[in-house]
């Protein structure tokens, strides 16, 4: 078992659950069983470890989401699969993503609020990647490039909103509700 991997995985779990600034390096070390020197051998400081957890989650989340989406026919069904995945995530039905503590990227952005901060920008990049994934499928449903962009933004906004509602309010139906809206918007366009 690679030490670096171990560190990042444990650090992510703790940072995601309790928040980055609420978890000290010593706790990460204790729970991962790694020596302090090893940590500072791999990372110049805590912030780099945080950045590594964001990167780790970015890949983990994208892989998971792409996997879910590719299991369905491209287009509307793929988008539906995406919201079904969110639904299972919120409800803790998905082993890989249980438990749900909101979106790590939103949470980390809240703690590193300065838009110029590299970690904040890392979170922004993740959101853009997700937006790209959405666009790939929306573009199969709508002809106009402008419409594709608008529709993808709308779906992304609904997705972020659903995550917030699920986390802050504990609304477990948030994903289903968001999909109902997204579907209505799609139908209004692809049939018009």
Partner DNA sequence: AACTGGGTAGACCGGTCTGTCTACTGCGTC
Partner DNA sequence: GACGCAGTAGACAGACCGGTCTACCCAGTT
**Which has the closest alpha carbon to 3: 26, 33, 24, 27?**
33
Among its own copies, DNA, none, the one that 85 touches (CB under a kind-dependent 5 to 8 A) is none
Neighbours of 55 (CB within 10 A): 15
Quick one: tokens of 33? 């069983």
Query: Considering the complex, what minimum distance in angstroms separates the CB of residue 138 from DNA?
Result: 41
Radius of gyration of the chain (CA): 18
Question: Please, which residue, 43 or 105, has the CB nearer to its own copies?
Answer: 105
Pick out residues in 124-143 that bind DNA (CB under 7 A). Answer: none
Query: Considering the complex, what minimum distance in angstroms separates the CB of residue 92 from DNA?
Result: 28
Quick one: tokens of 129? 């990647």
**Which has the closest alpha carbon to 130: 98, 152, 101?**
152
What angle do helix axes 46-70 and 104-111 make, rounded to 10 degrees?
Answer: 150
- Max Cα-Cα span within the chain: 63
Among its own copies, DNA, none, the one that 169 touches (CB under a kind-dependent 5 to 8 A) is its own copies
Query: Considering the complex, what minimum distance in angstroms separates the CB of residue 11 from DNA?
Result: 10
Question: Please, which residue, 74 or 149, has the CB nearer to its own copies?
Answer: 149
Among its own copies, DNA, none, the one that 174 touches (CB under a kind-dependent 5 to 8 A) is its own copies
Which residues are CB-neighbours of 182 under 8 A, at least 6 positions away? 79, 83, 154, 155, 158
Query: Considering the complex, what minimum distance in angstroms separates the CB of residue 62 from its own copies?
Result: 16
Region from 11-19, 20-28, 75-83, 162-170 binding DNA, contact rule CB under 7 A: 20-28
30 with 21: CB under 8 angstroms? no
Binding mask 22-61 vs DNA (x if CB under 7 A, - otherwise)?
Answer: -xxxxx-----xxxxxx-xxx--xxx--------------
Site residues (vs DNA, CB under 7 A): 2-4, 23-27, 33-38, 40-42, 45-47
């Amino acid at each position: 078992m690679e030490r670096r991997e171990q560190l990042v995985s444990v650090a992510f779990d703790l940072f995601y659950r309790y928040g980055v600034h609420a978890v000290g390096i010593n706790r990460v070390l204790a729970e991962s069983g790694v020596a302090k020197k090893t940590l500072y051998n791999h990372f110049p400081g805590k912030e780099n470890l945080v950045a590594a957890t964001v990167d780790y989650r970015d890949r983990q989340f994208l892989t998971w989401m792409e996997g879910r989406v590719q299991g369905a026919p491209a287009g509307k069904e793929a988008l539906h699969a995406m919201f079904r995945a969110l639904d299972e995530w919120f409800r803790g039905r998905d082993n890989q993503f249980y438990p749900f503590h909101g979106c790590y990227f939103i949470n980390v952005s809240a703690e590193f609020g300065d838009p110029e901060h590299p970690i904040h920008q890392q979170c922004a990049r993740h959101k853009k990647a997700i937006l790209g994934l959405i666009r790939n499928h929306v573009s199969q449903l709508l002809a106009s490039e402008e419409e594709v962009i608008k529709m993808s933004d709308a779906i992304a906004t609904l997705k972020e909103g659903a995550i917030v509602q699920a986390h802050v309010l504990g609304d477990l139906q948030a994903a289903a509700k968001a999909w109902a809206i997204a579907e209505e918007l799609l139908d209004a366009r692809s049939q018009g």
